[in-house]
Structure 1
Amino acid sequence: MSVTERVIYEQFPFWRKAIELELPPLPAKTLVFVGCGTSYYLSQSLAAAFNLAGRPAVAVPGAEWIFNRRAYVGERTDVCVVGLSRSGESTETVRAIRESVAAGIDTVAITCAADSAIAKAADQTIFAATHAEEGIVMTSSASLMLLVGLRWAGVSVAEATVAAAEQALREMAAKAPGIIEGRSHFVFLGGGALYGLASEGALKLQEMSITYSQAFHPLEYRHGPISLVDDRTLVVLLYGEETREAEERVARDVQSKGARVIGFGGAGDLSLPIGESGLGRMLIMLPALQLLGEEVARAKSIDTTQPRHLTKVVTLS
């Protein structure tokens, strides 16, 4: 078992601690979630979660908030910028927080590093301790930032959520090797709050296994990208509770063209039951998505502790 895989399996005690964290009060403003890479995709899911909870929110990549802020919020100043950064040192996200503070905008940091640049710069900080051996690829820390963000949005996260995530992870470990055999084209589909999670699943696979992958909204996939589907395709479909019937039609469509399907919470060649309703379902899906990247990497004899061209912290001059 690689260090990356072990950290995926050992993340749940950190979840249990994060469930008990005291969170700051929500500001009565539009929330702007900023981040880079994994943190940006988590921001997409969190912004959707807040919108669904009746609190307006938008997700913006860190550099976009620095250089193109008006394209996302116009001239509005009644916003609170929430920066997500595992290390608290990612150049664009830290700068986005600092420039927001300088502009008189409220800021909150969500990080796994208490004594970091982003924690020092933001008005308030939500800190969730992560696994000490986590390497370049974000696994435990990504789950933790999603967890505290969902709790902040009012989503209940309990022991049953942790248990369901552990079960989905075990099922992925047991059945993924047979499903991925012979597959080289990977597609991740998710709608609404699950779109950010689908994008994160695609990113994990790229980072860990050096394999090209894509993410789309489920029904949008038919509008052009489906032309690439063949008997080397694996589609990972994150089913929405209210859209399952329509998304199952997409699953059958790609299967008829040769694809295999892993269905989270719905039909597939491998169907992983989620066992929970509501936005907490995202937490149940995430560790299994992380492990899928590890399984594809193992099939290609790639060491996930040394992903190509990547560093643990992206700092730019």
Structure 2
Amino acid sequence: MNATERGIREQFSLWNELDLKDVRLEPGRMQIVIGCGTSVHIADSIAATLNIQGHLARAVPGNEWTVRADNYAPPSVPVEVIALSRSGESTETVAAARKSHLNGIPVVAFTCAPGSSLCHEADRLVEAKTHPEEGIVMTASASLMLLMGLRYAGVSVGPQTTAAAEKLLATGEKFLPELIAGRTHFVFLGGGSLYGVAREAALKMQEMSLSQSEAHHPLEYRHGPISLIDDRSLVVMLYHPDTTSEEAAVVADVQSKGARVLGLGGPGDVSLDVKGEPLTEPLVCLPLLQLLGENVARMKGLDTLAPRHLTKVVTVA
């Protein structure tokens, strides 16, 4: 077992230690959730959950918010920025937080790096300790920032959810070898708050295993992307409780074209239940999706501690 896998398997105790320390959402402002790479995918799931909870929200890549904020929120609308960065040093995220701060916009930072540059640009701060062996690829830290966002949105996330995620990982990992055997094309489908996690799973697959991967809203997959499906495809359907029957029909479509399917919360060649407290499905699924990327990398003989062309922190002069 390498350090990446240990970080995935040993993250659950860190979830139970997380404390927002009374950092609360500021009502009456649109929530702009920013980040880069993994963080902006996690931001997407956080923003969707904020909207479900009655708080207008949108996820925006860091540099997009810096250079064209008016494309994402009208200047007349009061906003609060939630900035996500594991290292607290990602150039685009720090710059976006700094510009927001200078413009009088409240900034909340979610990070795993106390004392980092992002912390100095924030009015309020939520910090978490991530796994000590976490390398370039974000695993435990991604889950922790998603957990921060769910709690910030007012979702109850306690030991019941942690136990559900740990059980899903333990149950699902037994099926991973048969699911990935002979598969080179990986598709992740999820709607609503699950879409950001589907995007993150596709990114993990790219980073860890250098595999062709993509993410879509489930019913959008029929509108063009399904043309790539064949007997080399693995589709992971992240079922939304509101649309299980529609998503099951998409699964039947891709199965008829040769795909193998992992159904999380609904039908598939392998079907697994997703438990936990309400609105926690994205968090519960995330560790298993991380381990899926690690398993494909191992099958291909790749070291996830040294992913090609990547650095742990993206900084730009």
TM-score, length-scaled by structure 1: 0.98
Task: Name the CA distance, whole Å, in 2 between partners of 1:42 and 1:112.
Answer: 14
Counterpart-to-counterpart distance in 2, 1:25 and 1:191: 27
How many residue pairs get aligned? The number is 316
The runs of 5 or more residues in structure 2 that have no matched partner are none
Residue aligning to 1:23:
22
Q: Secondary structure at the match of 1:73?
A: coil
Q: 2:30 is aligned with what amino acid?
A: T
Alignment-derived partner of residue 301 in structure 1: 301
Partners of 1:91 and 1:30 in 2: CA distance: 24
Distance 1:61 1:87 in 2: 16
**Compared CA separation, residues 31 and 78, structure 1 to 2 (3 A):** same
In the other structure, the counterpart of 1:174 is 174
The secondary structure found in structure 2 opposite 1:92 is helix
Tell whether the 8 Å contact from 2:43 to 2:84 is kept in structure 1 after alignment. yes
Q: Residues 21-80 of structure 1, C-alpha deviation per residue, up to 9 Å, x if partnerless? A: 423121121100000000000110100000000000011000100111111112235100
Residue 130 of structure 2: aligned partner? 130
Distance in 2 (alpha carbons) for counterparts of 1:277 and 1:82: 24
In structure 2, the residue matched to 1:106 is 106
Work out whether 1:228 is the aligned partner of 2:228. Answer: yes
Q: Which amino acid aligns with 2:21?
A: E
Shift of 1:149: 0.8
Identity %: 56
Listed one character per residue, the Cα deviations across residues 190-232 of structure 1 (whole Å, up to 9, x for unaligned) are: 0011110100000000000011200000000000111111100
Matching residue of 2:244: 244
**2:183 partner SS:** coil
Say which SS state the counterpart of residue 289 (structure 1) adopts: helix
Which residue of the partner structure matches residue 75 of structure 2? 75
Distance 1:314 1:157, change over 3 A: same
**2:87 paired residue number:** 87
Measure, in 1, the Cα distance between the counterparts of 2:70 and 2:161.
Answer: 38
Tell me if structure 1 keeps the 8 A contact 2:14–2:129: yes
Instruction: State the match for 2:157 in structure 1.
Output: 157
Match of 1:140 in 2: 140
Q: Which residue does 1:212 correspond to in 2?
A: 212
Within the alignment, does 1:60 sit opposite 2:60 as a pair?
yes
The CA distance in 1 between the partners of 2:146 and 2:270, in whole Å, is: 25
For 1:5, the equivalent position in structure 2 comes to 5
RMSD between aligned residues: 0.9
Aligned residue for 2:226, secondary structure, equals: helix
Matched residues in 1 for 2:118 and 2:138: separation? 18
> 8 Å contact 2:15–2:162 — kept in the other structure?
yes
Letter in 2 for 1:126: V
Superposition deviation, residue 160 in structure 1 = 1.3
Question: Which letter does structure 1 place at the counterpart of 2:290?
Answer: Q
- What amino acid is aligned across from residue 287 of structure 1 in structure 2? P
CA–CA separation in structure 1 for the residues paired with 2:105 and 2:119: 16
Look up the match of 1:38. 38
Contact kept, 8 Å, 1:172 with 1:291, in 2: the verdict is: no
Q: 2: distance between equivalents of 1:21 and 1:14?
A: 13
Separation in structure 1 between the aligned mates of residue 212 and residue 120 of structure 2, nearest angstrom = 37
TM-score (ref. length: structure 2): 0.98
CA distance in 1, matches of 2:8, 2:227: 34
**Contact residue 194 and residue 281 of structure 2 kept, 8 A:** no
Distance across 2 between alignment mates of 1:303 and 1:190: 28
Counting only pairs closer than 5 Å after superposition, residues 193-212 of structure 1 correspond to structure 2 as 193-212=193-212
Contact 1:241/1:277 (<8 A) preserved = no
Pair 1:270–1:155, CA change in 2 (3 A): same
Structure 1 residue 277: Cα displacement: 5.3
Contact 2:165/2:276 (CA < 8 Å) preserved in 1?
A: no
Which residue of 2 is the match for residue 291 of structure 1?
291
Query: How far 1:159 moved relative to its partner?
Result: 1.1
